[in-house]
Structure 1
Amino acid sequence: MSKEFEIVREFEVDAPPEEVWEAVTNGTGGYLWPMEAPEPRVGGTAAFGSTVTAWDPPHHLITRSENVGFSVQSLNQLEHTIEPRDGGRRAWVRYVHSGIFTDDWDNQYDGASKHTDFYLHTLREYLTHFAPRPVTFASLDGPERSTAADAFAAVGRALGLADGTASGERVRAHGPGGRALDAVLDYRDPYFIGLRTDHALIRFFGRNHWGAPVGISVHDFAPDADAKANELAWQGWLDGVFSQP
């Protein structure tokens, strides 16, 4: 049965409104993933066949898609409202994701809501530590075995994260090829893990909770970053996590 949904989040960030606007419109993959940047006008095209229905930089952006093409969704709208704080040195952001799910409503809403929190946290990490540096993006999914109910717990163990390690702590994580990663554990809950190194944001997605494989994205800001090398390295690491019975 089709049913509307709305996910609303508000937060402040240590970045001026112009930098927030640039981050959410440039489509580079600095905090989300590379996608078509919105055409800078009302009526313009945007990512995934959506249309710009509000364009007031750096304050207000709405993109809207009808007949989305996903089997479980028929309408999707994203709205960003950005206002200055502290004389323009900071920004207040209101984010609204709304639309219509046509099937599996509870599962779809739960996944979208929890992903929203993680993505917006990553936006704040990007703005605070890396913007406007160019980014090299890579993403990958685990094997079929990573859809198991306990799969994401195995990812935490493979990274060498003790159960009591909390967000904000510095860690020495176990990366590809046995390489140690000096990082800040910037996000951790049962569904997601975020690592921030001096040159990258590495994100781990427990999508097994919603019936999909575990995923990883790497937002690499090093001048010599290699997307394919990052993808291959982390794919080998993730496959290895689930290679044993």
Structure 2
Amino acid sequence: MSKEFEIVREFEVDATPEEVWEAVTAGTGGYLWPMEPPEPKAGGRGPFGSTVTAWDPPHRYTNRSEDTGMPAQPLNQLDHTIEPRDGGRRAWVRYVHSGIFTDDWDNQYDGANRHTDFYLHTLREYLTHFAPRPVAFSTLNGPEASTAPDAFAAVGRALGLTDGDAVGARVSVRGPRPFEAVLDYRDEYFIGLRTDEALIRFFGRNHWSAPIGLSVHDFAQDADAEATGAAWQAWLTSAFSTGSRS
């Protein structure tokens, strides 16, 4: 049964409206994933075949897809309103994700709602620490075993995180190679790690019967997205190999 949904968030960020506008329209993958930049006009082509329905830099940007190619979500709209604060030195953002879900509405809404908080947090991290540096983006999924109900807890253990590691703490991480990072986000669904050169994000999509997801936004000058993705893929697969989840 089809049913409309709407997810609304408002926040301030230590960035100018112009910087926020660039982040959400350039399509670089700095905080989300690489995508086709929108054609800069109302009625233009937006990412993934959407249509730009509002284009007022740096204040309002909306894109809408009425034929998404996904039977479970036949309508999708993303709306960004950006206003200056503190004489233009900061920005206030209102983000609205709306559309229609068809199958398993409650589960789909729960996933989209929780992902929204993590994505927008990553946007603020990007704007505060990395924008407008160029990015090398990698994304990957865990094996079938990572769909298990306790899979995301296993990821935390594989990283070397303890129950006492709180958001804001500096942690020693057991990744493809050991490294130090700030634990910038953590709940039972998502983990965010920030180094001086990268944002590393873990998605507990096992909660929605999908494999664990992982993305790396690497801002180092010599970043190699392919090599980084391969290293983290091997790490994530190893985390769910026989005998490694205790």
Secondary structure of the 1:100 match is strand
Do structure 1's residue 12 and structure 2's residue 12 form an aligned pair?
yes
Tell me the equivalent position of 2:147.
147
Distance 2:72 2:12 in 1: 32
Alignment of 1:54-69 (within 5 A): 54-69=54-69
Tell me the equivalent position of 1:133.
133
Distance 1:106 1:22 in 2: 33
TM-score, reference length from structure 1: 0.98
Q: Share of identical aligned residues, percent?
A: 78
Match for 1:196 among 194, 197, 200? 194
Distance 2:162 2:137 in 1: 28
Report the residue type matching 1:54 in the other structure.
A
Secondary structure of the 1:183 match is strand
Q: Give 1:181 shift.
A: 1.3
Distance 2:132 2:226 in 1: 22
TM-score, reference length from structure 2: 0.98
- Number of residue pairs matched? 243
Gaps of 5+ in 1: none
Q: Give 1:71 shift.
A: 2.2
Q: Give 1:101 shift.
A: 0.4
Secondary structure of the 1:9 match is strand
Tell me the equivalent position of 2:224.
226
Distance 1:244 1:17 in 2: 49
Distance 2:185 2:39 in 1: 33
Distance 2:242 2:46 in 1: 43
Tell me the equivalent position of 2:215.
217
Secondary structure of the 2:241 match is coil
Distance 2:71 2:235 in 1: 32
Tell me the equivalent position of 1:186.
184
Tell me the equivalent position of 1:102.
102
Distance 1:231 1:189 in 2: 24
Secondary structure of the 1:193 match is strand
CA deviation map 1:63-85 (0-9, x unaligned) = 00002111211100000000000
Distance 1:153 1:170 in 2: 19
After the TM superposition, list the runs of 4 or more consecutive aligned residues in structure 1 that deviate by more than 2 angstroms.
none
Distance 2:237 2:56 in 1: 44
Report the residue type matching 2:191 in the other structure.
I
